[in-house]
Amino acid sequence: MAIQVSTLARHPGVRTEEQISQLKHQWSVYQRENSLKTTAQRELIVDVFLRGSSADTHVSIDELLALVRARNARVGYATVYRTVKHLLDAGLAASRQFGDGQTRYEVAGSESRHHDHLICQKCRLILEFEEPEIERLQDTVATRLGGFKVMQHKLELYGLCPKEQGVSGGQCPGDDAQKPEPRVARR
Amino acid sequence: MAIQVSTLARHPGVRTEEQISQLKHQWSVYQRENSLKTTAQRELIVDVFLRGSSADTHVSIDELLALVRARNARVGYATVYRTVKHLLDAGLAASRQFGDGQTRYEVAGSESRHHDHLICQKCRLILEFEEPEIERLQDTVATRLGGFKVMQHKLELYGLCPKEQGVSGGQCPGDDAQKPEPRVARR
DNA sequence: CTAGATGCAAAAGTTTTGCAAAGCC
DNA sequence: GGCTTTGCAAAACTTTTGCATCTAG
């Protein structure tokens, strides 16, 4: 019996045009409020990030830069870092650390419902899921803590995906681990 | 009405001698299994880590080294990193990233019950709490995911501690942020 | 004696910053 | 024109590694 993984992940990367333009509107509001100028690089980075193809949910800065450079080679690291910082500030991006040493970013914003993550400890596959119950849990704890005001949470489940269970040397979606290329520009 | 924070934190640092020796036993088993030699430095690091005073739950490598050097100045970074790696491997330490850029470590092991964290976004105070409900939640998701085997979870709640709420420029336990000293030895 | 451990310094990897040049408004 | 942004390189910071030396077993 095949296990339907795809129904669990929130159709990553399948963002409708409508959602994209909603997110872009949120971005332009932020731009105006902070008197940010509109530059080709920044717009490109934002566009690439918000559209994120299904393979590129949870991008690292490196990956994002690579995607951006595919469309415009003359973009520097610093610009990506600075732009992502703006996206975080605008609430359009959220950062996550899954323990692989890199900070990863995913699309947030009013359009996206909150979700949590399940990470395969063997193959590093990352799945998303929604669990409304946890909001209730959060409130329970908040109440017990009395004075605390809980703003957000991060829940990560770590375990083994179907392909890894029992298989000692089995392969896995993320297992064909081509050593990450040395970063695009290193000194 | 004062809020009883202390009852929520699992009495951090108040580990009984019995617990300590239980942990040390676990360590010595690991040592034997992996033919690790007993050296003064390593024993010291392990001791300092496992005893961790109430202020020193969730230590960073830097903090741990500082504590260790207070007792023996001739210990290097590398040794601390290598020893902590052993502790992780032995299941006596667990690593956490709370978004302040440093990896932090806390005591794990059979003695300690699982717990989760609440982090004040303003003052970086870290509290621990237990919430049995979440194990059930974990199972719910595992069931829904069908083929997944969930091994562990991390739940982090981010919010504002009592002292920070409503106070725009208010101070906070962790707010007297003396800029972190430049690391102990830098080139 | 020998395998493992240490300390140092260098290297590696990620993120930030200073600055001159270029671009937006 | 003035203020923001960019790209580059250098700096800052965390973690790992190579190696000569030392030490527990």
**Domain boundaries along the sequence of chain B:** 14-112, 114-178
Q: What is the pLDDT of residue A141?
A: 84
Which residues on chain B are in Cβ contact (under 8 Å) with A156?
153-155
pLDDT in tens, A49-92: 999 876 678 899 999 999 999 999 999 999 999 999 999 999 99
Rg, Å, chain B Cα set: 18
Residue A38 beta carbon within 7 A of nucleic strand C:
yes
Q: What is the pLDDT of residue A132?
A: 82
**Nucleotides of chain D touched by protein CB (<7 A):** 4-10, 13-18, 23-25
pTM (2 d.p.): 0.76
pLDDT of residue B187 exceeding 50? no
The runs of H, that is alpha helices, within B52-95 are 61-69, 77-89
DSSP secondary structure letter of residue B164: G
Bridge-partner residues for A159, per DSSP? A120, B150
Range name among A34-43, A177-186, B128-137 with the lowest pLDDT average: A177-186
pLDDT of residue A136 exceeding 60? yes
Q: Which residue has the higher pLDDT, B130 or A84?
A: A84
Rounded CA-CA distance B2/A138 in Å is 22
Residue type, A87: L
Interface residue ranges in chain B relative to chain A, Cβ cutoff 8 Å: 3-5, 8, 95, 97, 99, 118, 121, 127, 129, 131, 133-134, 137-138, 140-142, 144-162, 165
- Residue with the two structure tokens 């420029």: B169
Percent of chain B surpassing pLDDT 90: 40
Q: What is the pLDDT of residue A111?
A: 59
- C-alpha angle A95/A112/A75, rounded to 5°? 50
Spatial contact of A106 and A56, defined as CB atoms under 8 Å apart: no
Phi-psi domain of B80 (left: phi exceeds 0; alpha: psi -120 through 50; beta: other): alpha
Q: What is the pLDDT of residue B110?
A: 65
H/E segment holding residue B126:
strand B126-129
Residue A37 beta carbon within 7 A of nucleic strand C:
yes
3-state secondary structure A50-89: HHCCHHHCCEEHHHHHHHHHCCCCCCCHHHHHHHHHHHHH
Select the residue from B145, B152, B165, B172 to test the A interface by mutation, using most A Cβ atoms within 10 A.
Answer: B145
Tell me which CATH code domain A114-178 carries: 3.30.1490.190
Rounded CA-CA distance B86/A31 in Å is 48
Residue type, B184: V
Q: Which residue has the higher pLDDT, A155 or A37?
A: A37
Its CATH class, for the domain covering A14-112, is: mainly alpha
pLDDT of residue A3 exceeding 50? no
User: Exposed/middle/buried for B17, CB within 10 Å: 0-12, 13-18, 19+?
Assistant: exposed
Q: What is the pLDDT of residue A28?
A: 97
Tokens of B92: 């006596």
